Amino acid sequence: MKILVLVSSLQGGGAERVAVTLCNAWANTGHDVTVMVTYTGATDSVYPIDPKVTVAAPDYQPTRKNALSQLRRLWSLRTSIIGIQPDRIVSFLTNVNVAAILATRRLQIPVIVSERIHPAQMVLGKGIKLLRKLTYPLASHVIVQTQATAGWFAKHLPRANVCVIPNPCELPLPRSKPILDPQSLLLAKDRIVLGTGRLDAQKGFLDLLHAFANCTRGPDWKLVILGEGEQRAVLQAEAQRLTIFSRVLLPGWCGNPEDWFNRADIFVLSSKFEGFPNALLEAMACGTCAISYDCPAGPAEMITQEESGLLVAPASGVRGLEQSLSRLIADPDLRSSLGKQAAVSASRFSLEKILKKWRDVLTEQTT
């Protein structure tokens, strides 16, 4: 089968990483795969792409954001699609999804669109919301990552053909630059609470800082938050105010998260909302015991409470996070048992199992 995958960029991001994982897997099972960068036009990737995957971009890349430029961009995408003549198109993220459906009108090519953020929490302009409402029912499938998101579509876009396919997680996790060795920043005796993600309000790292400050006193416990973003200065200032600055590390992005999951004693997802928290799944797959806000959407579909992790009601806020963190810090046996069961639970999301779900969708139109 000839598969065309559409993404806005290959310069980073969870959706782009999943897209590359799927492209590589499909190419290695004999499909003819092209990934096309629709927005930036930059065909270099921060994620390793198999040589069997063709990387392309539409010929036209607008330099201005006006209606005429957007129409020319859409026509260029359509021309590229006609040139490739794919059997299936798979697109990621709302703007790309809408463009893919519009660009393929009357071409008789099944378009499978993939939502990556829980729509109830997604900030979209009125125009793109209207276009999503009009175009998604025309897609052969709308892929969502959780049952919670499927429920939202059933209520708000019932004519869309929704299918739940979570993200895959396969060990070893992909490695890319920059490589950040935990041993270069930590002592062997250090006990680690780990968070990872963009340093912004969505990820709730201020809550994590406060919970950590309230339940740890000794120098051996350290908080490491991997990532970069606009809240770096805010988090640093708050750590200073809470007098835990010497025990908080913000080393930036790293391309070797598995090394950090394996080094961590506890992983915490403090997000206010998610589409599908890849970091939580990856930590669980590595056997790291996990605490997560039971935010929309995803954590409750990964963690069985008190069996494979601890879920914290968002309404309980810092106090709830602090209580769960205190329990795990005080109980190494509980950390061990939750971590072992987390790895078992995460196996439900293996690449092999997720590829089967995608295979069913990709082949449905030919049966």
CA angle 37, 39, 41 (to 5 degrees): 55
Residues 118 and 223 grouped into a single domain = no
Domain count within the chain = 2
Shared domain for 156 and 42, answered yes or no, is: yes
- Report the distance separating Cα 118 and Cα 296, nearest Å: 7
CATH of the domain at 85: 3.40.50.2000
Angle between helices 67-84 and 94-103 (to 10 degrees): 70
* Six-digit token string for 220: 């051996």
For residue 297, give its domain range: 182-349
Q: Single out the residue of 196, 218, 216 nearest to residue 205, CA to CA.
A: 196
Residues 6+ apart with CB under 8 A from 158: none
Nearest to 326 by CA among 302, 295, 291: 291
Chain centroid to Cα 336, Å, comes to: 26
DSSP annotation string for 237-296 = HHHHHTT-GGGEEEEE--S-HHHHHHH-SEEEE--S--SS-HHHHHHHHTT--EEEE--S
Domain shared by 146 and 42, yes or no: yes
- 138 and 223 together in one domain: no
174 in a structural domain: no
Whether residue 108 contacts residue 138, with contact meaning beta carbons closer than 8 Å, is answered with no
Q: Are residues 121 and 138 in the same domain?
A: yes
176 in a domain, yes or no? no
CA angle 342–185–169, rounded 5-degree value: 30
Asked whether residue 93 is domain-assigned, the answer is yes
Same-domain check for residues 227 and 275: yes
Say what the pLDDT of residue 365 is: 56
Q: Which two tokens stand for residue 222?
A: 């350290």
The reply to whether 297 falls in a domain is yes
49 and 127 housed in the same domain: yes
In a domain, 173, yes or no: no
Q: How far apart are CA 265 and CA 287, in angstroms?
A: 10
Does residue 150 sit in the same domain as residue 250? no
Q: Are residues 358 and 323 in the same domain?
A: no
Any domain includes 175 = no
Task: Walk along the chain (367 residues) and give the pLDDT tens digit of each residue.
Answer: 999 999 998 887 778 889 999 999 999 999 999 999 988 777 888 888 999 999 999 988 776 778 888 898 899 999 999 999 999 999 999 999 999 999 999 999 999 999 988 888 877 889 999 999 999 999 999 999 999 999 999 999 999 999 999 999 989 988 888 999 999 999 999 999 999 999 999 999 999 999 999 997 778 999 999 999 999 999 999 999 999 999 999 999 998 999 999 999 999 999 998 888 999 999 999 999 999 999 988 999 999 999 999 999 999 999 999 999 999 999 999 999 999 999 999 999 999 999 999 999 999 854 4
What pLDDT sits at residue 367? Answer: 40
- Is the domain of 123 the same as that of 216? no
Task: For residues 139 and 187, state if they share a domain.
Answer: no
252 closest CA partner among 203, 199, 205, 213 = 199
Give pTM, 2 decimals: 0.88
Instruction: Name the nearest CA neighbour of 267 among 208, 188, 348, 227.
Output: 208
As a whole number of angstroms, the distance between CA 138 and CA 160 comes to 8
In a domain, 252, yes or no: yes
Would you state the pLDDT for residue 43? Answer: 83
Statement to judge: residues 239 and 339 lie in one domain: yes
Task: Let me know if residue 279 belongs to a domain.
Answer: yes
